[in-house]
Amino acid sequence: MSNLETVFNIAAVERDTGLSKDTLRVWERRYDFPKPGRDANGERVYPQEQVDKLRLIRRLLDLGQRPSKVIPSTSAELTTLLESYRATSAPGTPAVVEQELMQYVKLHRSGELLAALHQGLMKQGLQRFVAETIAPLNEAIGEAWVRGEIDIPEEHLYTEQVQNILRGAIGASTTSNGRPRILLTTFPDEYHILGLLMAEATLVPEGASCLSLGTRTPLADIQSAAVGGKFDIVGLSFSVAYPARHAIEGLVELRDALPTHIGIWAGGAALKDKQRRLPGIRVVTDLADTLTALREWRSVHST
């Protein structure tokens, strides 16, 4: 049996952590971490543990820490630090159901997971199910991922099951003539689709007609699809891992490329507190705010 000792090249680490190749190299130069090995060709080879630590660091940077502070710490210290954030922020979200679902993910109980999700959907209805079950669960999964408690296949399994549930429910309640007409997609280097599906699941029951292009649409194509399809709004989703700077640059460029009568809504953790750098763009802070944005649009466009 061959050894599948997991190592990563620099491109893979960029994908997994959201830290650019340039950043990874300059950190190595300045802070002496990460310290990858080299293969026969002199190219960097990152072991699993260093990638894990980089993910922890990335998470702390998103929380406002600075590289020089966190990079020298050990993984254990970083985990403690992350948990201290967790303690301060989470006000009353006990969620027994959430813990149960999380267990199914960790134990690969896909059957039970699907059944429990289905049950939640039936009980709460699509919108509440998404807002009260899926969204918090997403966050819990993200945190567990950073803490190394869950793995890629577990995250894949989770994403697949949620997609199965949400796409089924969206398909059942879809309308094609409602207003506004909303085009949903992501930028080319964003792979995460759950944000889009959650937005669609929130908007469709309100009578908006949503069209999702899935992930990874080039900017020029977003523009031509929006104009050609006579959409009122373009909705973009950014996961935590998406570099805020990229998001802002891309959004500004898109705003410039679209006629002013087409609105842009941008949502996701990467854009928290970035509204002031995004004139002409509606930053959607969470799913409830998505509904607020919808009401705003309708009150402005009612004649």
Partner DNA sequence: CGAACACGTTTGTCTAGGACAAAAATGATG
Partner DNA sequence: CATCATTTTTGTCCTAGACAAACGTGTTCG
The DSSP letter of residue 204 is: G
Cα angle, residue 93 at apex, residues 17 and 83 outer, rounded to 5°: 40
257 touches a copy of itself by CB under 8 A: yes
227 touches a copy of itself by CB under 8 A: no
Decide if 72 contacts 31 (C-beta within 8 A).
Answer: yes
Contacting a copy of itself (CB under 8 A), which of 168, 280, 292, 295? 168
* CA atoms of 63 and 61, how far apart (whole Å): 5
**85, two tokens:** 């954030």
How many other CB atoms are there within 10 angstroms of residue 119's CB atom?
Answer: 12
* CA atoms of 149 and 142, how far apart (whole Å): 10
Q: How many CA atoms lie within 13 A of 122 on its CB side?
A: 6
171 touches a copy of itself by CB under 8 A: yes
Contact characters 236-255, DNA, x per CB under 7 A: -------x-xx---------
Secondary-structure breakdown of the chain: helix, strand, coil percentages, each rounded to the nearest 5: 60, 10, 30
**197, two tokens:** 């599906």
Contact characters 135-164, a copy of itself, x per CB under 8 A: ----------------xxx--xx-xx--xx
* CA atoms of 238 and 244, how far apart (whole Å): 9
78 touches a copy of itself by CB under 8 A: no
106 touches a copy of itself by CB under 8 A: no
121 touches a copy of itself by CB under 8 A: no
Contacting DNA (CB under 7 A), which of 16, 23, 109, 144? 23
Strands 263-267 and 282-284: parallel
Residue nearer to DNA on the CB measure, 27 or 158:
27
Point out which residues bind DNA (CB under 7 A): 9-11, 20-23, 25-27, 29-30, 40-44, 61, 64, 66-69, 243, 245-246
Point out which residues bind a copy of itself (CB under 8 A): 1-2, 4, 6, 11-12, 15-18, 55, 108, 110-111, 114, 151-153, 156-157, 159-160, 163-165, 167-168, 170-172, 174, 176, 185, 187-189, 191, 209, 211-214, 216-225, 228-229, 246, 249-250, 253, 256-257, 259-260
